Amino acid sequence: MKQTTIKKRIEGVGIGLHKGEPIKIALEPLGEDSGIIFYRQDVGVSIKAEPKNVINTQMATVIGNSNGVYISTIEHLLSAINSYGIDNIRVVLDANEPPVMDGSSIGFCMMLDEAGTKSLDKNKNIMVIKKEVAVKKGDKFVSIKPSNSPKFNYTIKFNHPVIGEQIYEFEFSKQNYIKEIARARTFGFLKDVQALRAQNLALGGSLENAVVLDDSGILNPGGLRFENEFVRHKILDAIGDLALMGMPILGDYTAYAGSHELNHLLTLEILSDAKNYEIVNLKDKAFAKEYSKVFA
């Protein structure tokens, strides 16, 4: 089972969630063992998507370097790239964030569909989880444990009549992702909008790219795409955050009130002890065949 990249360069334009202005994005093929590289065309700086480059997880997952150059809100795009099994790709931006699209990852999936995928010469690596790893903050936690069929089991609980407690288990594969997760949008509360905009955040947020709730209901005229769209989006985010590991992960992820911060801490905790995982090269045909549908 070989590493992959995209067949051709593909371009797009969309509004930035925080910048509130049009942002150009291009996805480009990269060679084997390159990983996922973000390139800030406006300042001529490349930053690799990996845990050590994460500099902020307060409102989104942000990567950056020591010179103050950063790229924010990368999790939706990484979620699509991860779920499409793409190992090597360059993301070219002319601003400090990708476009928010419609608040989900389906727009990025459409770009990847148009670009196509191709195999490279080297075999794919996957990270096989060997023992349970967990991180906690109060009553919130995320964990991952050994599994032969990766799943995401997520629980959220909000004191809001539309959300309440939602639990969803997702069996990971590209096709399941497109059907069950990719269209789930980010969400926020109207009461928080003014505070965010006072910090020059969420300037591009609107009913076109987020589910917005007031104290009693949903403001979006079209309502929800799924009855439990909120917890599905949390899984979308988690898949993107774990993509920073640089390879597919074979393990079961569980979260209660998880966050970008906890997801990042989980990646660091996994990497902190070599006994937690094994890097397996998919040169073994039987092994590769078993997981080809999952990590295609």
Determine whether the annotation assigns residue 160 to a binding site.
Answer: no
Alpha carbon distances (Å) from 178 to 10, 79, 227, 290: 20, 11, 17, 21
Question: Rounded distance, CA 222 to CA 241, Å?
Answer: 29
Confirm whether 260 is a catalytic residue.
Answer: yes
Please state, in angstroms and as integers, the Cα–Cα distance from residue 119 to each residue in 3, 5, 10, following that order: 6, 7, 18
Cβ atoms of 115 and 8 within 8 Å: the answer is yes
Tell me whether residue 147 is exposed, middle or buried, using C-beta atoms within 10 angstroms of its C-beta: 0 to 12, 13 to 18, 19 or more.
Answer: middle
> And the tokens for 118?
């191709």
Q: Which of 75, 62, 88, 131 is nearest to 270 (CA)?
A: 131
Which is nearest to 216 in space by CA: 189, 196, 185, 186?
Answer: 189
Q: Any known ligand binding at 233? A: yes
Residue of 18, 160, 260, 264 marked active site:
260
Radius of gyration of the chain (CA): 18
Three-state SS at 83:
helix
C-beta atoms surrounding 146 within 10 Å: 13
Sequence ranges of the binding site: 76, 233, 237
What residues are annotated to the active site? 260
**Residues annotated in a binding site for Zn(2+):** 76, 233, 237
